[in-house]
Structure 1
Amino acid sequence: MTTEQLRPRPDSLVPHSTSPFGGDRLLFLAEALRTFHDTGALAPSSADLVNALVVPVTSRPNRPLSVLEVGAGTGVVTRRLAQVLRPGDRLHVVEANPRFADRLREDPALAARRPGIGLRLSACRVEDLPRREGEDGTAGERYDVIVSGLPFTNFAPARVRLLLDLYLRLLVPGGELTYFGYLGTSTARTLASGPRRGARHRAVVRLLRSFEAAYGLGERTVWRNVPPARAYLLRSPGGRDQ
Structure 2
Amino acid sequence: MASLSNFDDCKGLLQSQELYEYVLETAVYPREPEVLKELRAITANHPKSLMATAPDAGQQIALLLKMINAKKTIEIGVFTGYSLLLTALTIPQDGKITAIDMNKDTYEMGLPVIKKAAVEHKINFIQSLALTVLDELLENHENRGSFDFAFVDADKVNYQKYHERLWQLLKVGGIIVYDNTLWFGTVAMPEESTKEELKPGRLHTIEFNRFLAADNRFQISQVPLGDGITICRRL
TM-score, length basis structure 2: 0.67
Rounded Cα–Cα distance in structure 2 between residues aligned with 1:48 and 1:165: 27
Alignment-derived partner of residue 78 in structure 1: 84
> Aligned letter for 1:81?
T
Corresponding position: 1:107 with 2:112: yes
Segments of 5+ residues of structure 1 without an aligned counterpart are 1-15, 33-40, 238-242
Q: Which has the higher contact order (CA 8 A, sep 6+)?
A: 1
Tell me whether 1:26 sits opposite 2:45 in the alignment: yes
Q: Quote the RMSD (CA, aligned, Å).
A: 3.2
Q: Provide closer, same or farther for how the CA distance between residues 232 and 101 of structure 1 changes in structure 2, counting only shifts above 3 A.
A: same
Instruction: Find 1:91's aligned residue among 92, 97, 100.
Output: 97
Show CA shifts across 1:169-191 (max 9, x none). Answer: 22123321001223422337643
Equivalent residue of 1:184, what SS?
A: helix
| 1:192 matches 2:195 | yes
Identity fraction in percent: 11
Which protein has the larger Cα radius of gyration, Structure 1 or Structure 2? 1
* Equivalent residue, structure 1, for 2:229: 231
CA distance in 1, matches of 2:175, 2:213: 12
Q: Tell me the distance in 1 between the aligned counterparts of 2:136 and 2:184.
A: 35
User: What secondary structure sits across from 1:42 in the alignment?
Assistant: helix
Question: What letter corresponds to residue 202 of structure 1 in structure 2?
Answer: L
Contact (CA 8 Å) 1:216, 1:232: kept in 2 or not?
no
Is 1:160 the counterpart of 2:121 in the alignment? no
Hey, what does 1:218 align to over in structure 2?
Answer: 221
Q: Aligned letter for 2:220?
A: L
Code of the aligned partner of 1:71: G
Contact 1:175 1:236 in 2 (8 A): yes
How far, CA to CA, are the matches of 1:143 and 1:42 in structure 2?
A: 28
Q: Is 1:127 matched with 2:137? A: no
Q: Of 145, 150, 155, which aligns to 2:149? A: 145
Distance 1:94 1:199 in 2: 23
For 1:58, the equivalent position in structure 2 comes to 66
Partner SS, residue 167 of structure 1: helix
Match of 2:32 in 1: none
1:212 and 1:56 map into 2 onto residues whose CA distance is 20
Deviations 1:6-41 (A, max 9, x none): xxxxxxxxxx9xx444332222x2xx3xxxxxxxx7
Q: CA deviation at 1:141?
A: 8.3
Q: Number of matched residues?
A: 192
SS at match of 2:154: coil
CA contact (8 A) 1:79 1:110 kept: no
